[in-house]
Structure 1
Amino acid sequence: MKNSLIEYCLNKNGAFLDYPFGPDPMVFKVAGKMFAFIFEKDENVVCINLKCDPAIAENLREQHEAVRPGYHMNKEHWNTVMIDGSLEESDVFDMIDHSYDLVVKKLPKRLRESIPQLN
């Protein structure tokens, strides 16, 4: 599933891959702002950190054991999603969409307008 997560993140309008912290984690950004991190926490356990509205973040954590407070992130605004097979791929994609949308929404208007194909 890691490859499909990478592909999905890169297919977001204006998204690009960066490595600001070294070879791991893979950091996905839009207009220079992070919206997803993919890393391996333990051997063969892929995780993705995603920005999330605090109320939704808490709800997701209560509903899914695989969703936890953001690892090495602001735990109010970020979740770590363990890719362990307990969540449907479409659910993880929805979380990526939410993270991306939150980041884009907070961008200054000039940056939002500069993102290719963003309406």
Structure 2
Amino acid sequence: MKNTIIEYCLKKKGATQEYPFGPTPLVIKVADKMFALIFEETGKVVRLNLKCDPIIAENLREQHDCVRPGFHMNKKHWNSIMIDGSLPESDVFDMIDHSYDMVVKKLSKSLRESIGNELNE
């Protein structure tokens, strides 16, 4: 699932990757704002930090044991998803979409236009 998660994140308009904190985590950004942090061990993704609406974040934590408050992040606005096979890939992708949309929504209109990502406002 490692390459699938990374590839999915990088297909988002304006997405870039970097390692600002050392060899891990891989940080995926849009317009220099983080929307995904990918933690790996022995070549596989073990945890994924994603931005999330606080109400949705709480609901996801209650519904899924593998969704926890964001590791080393603002616990109100970030979730950590343990990639242990208990959550369908489609649900992980939905959470990535939500994180990306949350970040893009906060960008200025000119930044959204520069990455070709017009949101319906």
Assess if the C-alpha contact under 8 Å between 1:41 and 1:47 holds in 2: no
Q: For residues 49-88 of structure 1, what are the structure 2 equivalents within 5 Å?
A: 49-88=49-88
TM-score, normalization: structure 1? 0.94
Q: Which amino acid aligns with 2:115?
A: I
**How far is the alpha carbon of 1:26 from its aligned partner?**
0.2
Matched residue count: 118
The 1:42–1:110 alpha-carbon spacing in structure 2 relative to 1, beyond 3 Å, is: same
Which residue number corresponds to residue 27 of structure 1? 27
Which residue number corresponds to residue 40 of structure 2? 40
Distance 2:41 2:91 in 1: 21
Once the two structures are superposed, what CA deviation does each residue of 1:58-102 show, in whole Å capped at 9, x if it has no partner?
A: 000000000000000000000000000000000000000000000
TM-score, normalization: structure 2? 0.92
The 1:5–1:45 alpha-carbon spacing in structure 2 relative to 1, beyond 3 Å, is: closer
The DSSP-based 3-state class of the residue aligned with 1:35 is strand
Q: Percent identity?
A: 73
The DSSP-based 3-state class of the residue aligned with 2:76 is coil
Which residue number corresponds to residue 91 of structure 1? 91
Gaps spanning 5+ residues in structure 1: where? none
Once the two structures are superposed, what CA deviation does each residue of 1:22-61 show, in whole Å capped at 9, x if it has no partner?
A: 1210000000000000003799661000000000000000
Assess if the C-alpha contact under 8 Å between 1:19 and 1:27 holds in 2: yes
Superposition RMSD in Å:
1.6
Per mean C-alpha deviation after superposition, the further-off stretch among 38-47 and 70-79 is: 38-47
